[in-house]
Amino acid sequence: MVYITTEHKNQTILLPNRLEDYITQENTTRLIDAFVNTIDLNKLGFTRTNPDQEGRPQYHPAILLKLYIYSYANKIRSSRKIAKETHRNLEVIWLCQKQTPNYRTISDFRKENHKNLKKVFKEWNLLCDQLDLFDQNNSIDGSKFKAVNSKDQNFTLTKLDDRLKHIDKNINQYLTDLEKADQTEPDEKKLSKEELQKN
């Protein structure tokens, strides 16, 4: 029996020339992109909405917000892990338009915009609820089924209030987990070229 042939590591490959071709039209990452593009970040009070005219250019706050919503929706609970995704995850590369902020930039954005992130996460959850995108674990579910109005599927004011409390609890837990992860994760040791060649 023959194995499937692999690509040589030095072989030039042709990924799609357009970022637009990286993900499908049905991908929920497109919803995150559209959702953030409708938000007036300046009106909500996000920092960095008016870039400095001098010094190093900064990342647009919409890019960082998209990163946080993506990581929230995909349960990524560390600024370092979020930063890694900008280099290797095609959905994130598409979402951030190939921008790769480091973990400190990502973490600082969260610290500066803690209250605003809570508001946006709440709106995100409500939108996903309206579009019926959540599965039983509050993860975005890609499958679509016809709605049924059983007792579990209809809402009263009490159920809505409980749901909002649950959303707030999840958001607070997520932001707390991010804060803890950022404080406890050690800095990554960078290997030299010689060390990499030995392995």
- Give the residue, 143 or 192, on which the prediction is more confident: 192
φ, ψ (nearest 5 deg) of residue 134: -85, 145
User: For residue 82, what pLDDT is reported?
Assistant: 95
Taking the complete model, does pTM exceed 0.85, yes or no? no
What are the tokens at 163? 């749901």
Report the alpha-carbon distance of residue 190 to residue 30 in Å, rounded.
34
**pLDDT one-digit tens code per residue, 11-52:** 666 666 677 888 899 999 999 999 999 999 999 999 888 877
Mean pLDDT of 68-85: 93
Does pLDDT of 145 surpass 70? no
- 8 A C-beta contact, residue 141 and residue 134: yes
Smallest CA-to-CA distance from 132 within 117, 104, 152 is with 152
Amino acid at 32: I
64 backbone φψ class: left, alpha, beta (φ>0; ψ -120 to 50)? alpha
**How many CB atoms lie under 10 A from the CB of residue 10?**
5
Please check whether residue 22 is in contact with residue 90, taking contact to mean a CB–CB distance below 8 angstroms: yes
pLDDT band, very low/low/confident/very high, at 133 (cuts 50, 70, 90): confident
- Phi/psi of residue 140, nearest 5 degrees: -70, 125
